[in-house]
Amino acid sequence: MDREQEEAVLRITASYVAELEAGLHPRLSDYLARYPQYAEAIADFVAYYHAVEAELPPAGEVSQVAAERSESSDEKIVYMRQRRDAKRLRKVAEGGLDSPALKDITDPGR
């Protein structure tokens, strides 16, 4: 699919999502029938959207939660430490037991 076609699919699927968000219950079959040349890409996106994206809260709500979480420093510290440790563990896995990252993880004073 070239860039022009991808832009077309973006606009079509944006319209599908906008209808969904407006509570209009769009039917996949209507979109496939209307845009048969993009049927595969539309079906692919719609399956993905309902499987993964549809359950996500609206972006505004997530920003609000993130802002609140950043104020809750204890939770943020725990979360950041988990992420940092995950990254270091990967480095250990790549570098073996001699990896400096191992010392960071096992250092009790960190």
Partner 1 sequence: MDMAQASVDNESMCDAEVVRCQTSLAQAYDPSPHNASSAFWEAVECVETPLETLVKYLRSADKRKDIQARTRILAAILERTRALNELWARKALGHVVAPEGERCALVDDLWADLSERMVQALLDPARPFWEENFLHCLRFERRHVYRSFMLREGRWSDPGGQKRMRIPRVMLVSLDQRLQQEDGSSSAFDVEDERAQVMLQAVERHELLHMVLRLPERLQAVILLIFWEDRTEKETARILGISDRTVRNRLREALRLLRDTLEGEKEVRYG
**Based on CB atoms, which residue is closest to partner 1, 3 or 73?**
3
Pair 38, 8: CB distance under 8 Å: yes
Structure tokens at 83: 């992420």
| CA–centroid distance for 75 within its chain | 21
Q: Count residues binding partner 1 (CB under 8 A).
A: 49
The backbone torsions φ and ψ at residue 50, rounded to the nearest 5 degrees and listed phi first, read -75, -25
When binding is defined by CB under 8 A, the residue of 5, 63, 72, 106 that contacts partner 1 is: 63
Counting contacts by CB under 8 A, is residue 104 touching partner 1? Answer: no
Counting contacts by CB under 8 A, is residue 13 touching partner 1? Answer: yes
Residue with tokens 């993130």: 66
Q: How far apart are CA 47 and CA 49, in angstroms?
A: 6
**Based on CB atoms, which residue is closest to partner 1, 44 or 103?**
44
The number of residues in the chain equals 110
* Residues at the contact surface with partner 1, assessed by CB under 8 A: 3, 7, 10-11, 13-15, 17-19, 27-30, 32-34, 36, 39-53, 55-57, 59, 62-63, 65-66, 69, 82-83, 85-87, 89-90
